[in-house]
Structure 1
Amino acid sequence: MQIILVLSLTAAAIGSGLIAGIFFAFSAFIMTAFARLPAEQGIAAMNSINITIIRSPFMALFAPTAILCLVISVLAVINWRGGASMLMLAGAALYLLASFVSTIIFNVPMNDALEKVSGSGPQAAKLWATYLRDWTWWNHVRTLASLLTSITFVRALMLV
């Protein structure tokens, strides 16, 4: 059981850390760069990313890290280790709720709405401005949650 816990925590710490880095890139410069483009070009670029990311290694990291968080939660409860288990549950909850679920509830629907817009005209420009603001805000949430998850799992590893 100990080896499964250590391997799960290690993999989830690395996975959530890598996800945090991807999200950070979007928050730090990708969305800012897209905002500098005319709406039609920005929409086209973001739609291209949204199609590409589904078939990229990102998905092979994003979903399995969520599964590892579920495994870690179960291991934390069935083999309670005080502070270490509390950290494991906190890290898992952060990733599952603020990174994984928020992506499904907020970012993906915004991506789907953007996909349906033709890239020109005042309606597209208005949607693009709203999209940039709202999508980026939720991305900041995902970035921070994924980073805190990684830190929390590393700290838990130090205690198990």
Structure 2
Amino acid sequence: MADMVYAVVPVAATVLTGLFAGLFFGFSIAVMPGLGRAGDRAMIESMQGINVAILNPLFAAVFIGAPVGALASVVLHTSAAETASAVWFGGALACLVAALGITFGVNVPRNNALDEAGPAERIADPAAVRGAFEPVWVRWNHLRSLASAVALVCAVVALTVR
């Protein structure tokens, strides 16, 4: 049973980290550029809808599971005296925590401000609301995409070293 845990947890942590990174990468290369082509009200309405839709159990499992899995992998590899793997998973964990910090420190507050602006059709100056949201949100999303991609590289390396 213990062997199964040592095999499954690091692989699951790596898969979850890949999903975590892929989510932010998808926003960087497709979602936000696509919304960037939309008018102000359409962009605001779409992003408000995304902010509601993303809060679901699958998102939560990935968003929480990736760092928890990385932490569990650090503990497992440390307890097995597999220092190199533990260090690489530690790097993955650090990058995931950085991405979470960006998310809660920058992106979520921007999402909340967008929601507080009210329904897109009732916003008096949608260009101003968009201007306060989009450039900051996109810039920091690119950074959390990079941090989570580095986390994925670290997790993959952790699976290959001992």
TM-score normalised by length of structure 1: 0.87
From 154, 157, 162, give the equivalent of 1:155: 157
Corresponding position of 1:145? 147
User: How many residues matched?
Assistant: 158
Q: In 2 relative to 1, CA 6–144 (structure 1 residues): closer, same or farther, beyond 3 Å?
A: farther
Corresponding position of 1:100? 100
Supply the AA of the counterpart residue of 2:155: F
The RMSD of aligned alpha carbons is 1.9
> Which stretches in structure 1 are left out of the alignment for 5+ residues?
none
Matches of 2:23 and 2:100 in 1, distance apart?
14
Q: Percent identity?
A: 28
Matches of 1:17 and 1:8 in 2, distance apart?
14
Matches of 1:61 and 1:103 in 2, distance apart?
14
> Which stretches in structure 2 are left out of the alignment for 5+ residues?
none
Matches of 1:141 and 1:74 in 2, distance apart?
27
Q: Secondary structure at the match of 2:38?
A: coil
Matches of 1:5 and 1:94 in 2, distance apart?
22
From 107, 121, 124, give the equivalent of 1:121: 124
Supply the AA of the counterpart residue of 2:117: V
Give the structure, 1 or 2, with the largest relative contact order (CA under 8 Å, sep 6 or more): 1
Q: Is residue 39 from structure 1 mapped to residue 40 from structure 2 by the alignment?
A: yes
